[in-house]
Amino acid sequence: MSIKGFFLKQAVKYNTKNLPKDQQEALTHAVEKNPDLFSKIAKEIDALKKQGKPEMYASLDVMKKYQKELQELFKN
């Protein structure tokens, strides 16, 4: 695993403390499978937030954009 992948995995663990264990594991597994996708998603959300869009709406917009890729990751 790359350094970027390691830090993404740690960020997922930290930010999903309130999720049930099985959902935490599914998200961690998805990040491990495609850390570049999650890095890209985070950068795009951050860019929209800097433009003044609330975080929730920015997240929803970006997640819709990558919906098919995310569905594939969570399917397996």
Say yes or no to pLDDT of 14 above 70.
no
Q: Tell me the whole-structure pTM to 2 decimals.
A: 0.74
Long-range contacts of the stretch 64-73 (C-beta < 8 A, 24+): 66/37, 66/40, 66/41, 69/34, 69/37, 70/30, 70/37, 73/30, 73/33, 73/34, 73/37
Neighbours of 44 (CB within 10 A): 17
pLDDT tens-digit series, residues 16-59: 677 788 887 888 888 888 888 988 998 999 999 999 999 899 99
Domain boundaries, the chain: 1-10+34-76
Say yes or no to pLDDT of 74 above 90.
no
Per-residue pLDDT, 53: 95
Whether the CA torsion 9, 42, 24, 76 is positive or negative: it is negative
